[in-house]
Amino acid sequence: NAGVTQTPKFRILKIGQSMTLQCTQDMNHNYMYWYRQDPGMGLKLIYYSVGAGITDKGEVPNGYNVSRSTTEDFPLRLELAAPSQTSVYFCASSNIISSYEQYFGPGTRLTVT
């Protein structure tokens, strides 16, 4: 199993551009999450999903959108990128029975200038 994969690894965006961060998991997990981590800080939850077709906001959803059309994929969309969105983005997944154990992807380092 590849686990949780994220693309791209790095990206530089100009202010006002848009992009989609891709996340795929091959563990058949129902739950998926997007976090952001600013330098020297802990992770903050952006959005999460408890299954295909169901998403909900986390702590810091403004400026982002998500969709969950399949169990495997949970893309994160940034519209009108702003410097405040410069961060490292982590995707994670977990199963229902042991949802406390989240499996994280390697992260996407995004810079908005």
Residue 107, interface with other proteins (CB under 8 A)?
yes
Among the residue ranges 17-25, 32-40, 64-72, 73-81, the one whose residues contact other proteins (CB under 8 A): 32-40
Q: How far is the CB of 39 from other proteins (least distance, A)?
A: 11
Collapsed DSSP state (helix, strand, coil) of residue 112: strand
**Sequence-separated (6 or more) residues with CB below 8 Å from residue 45:** 33, 34, 35, 58, 59, 60
* Residues at the interface with other proteins (CB under 8 A): 4, 31, 33, 35, 40-45, 48, 50, 58-59, 90, 92, 94, 96-107
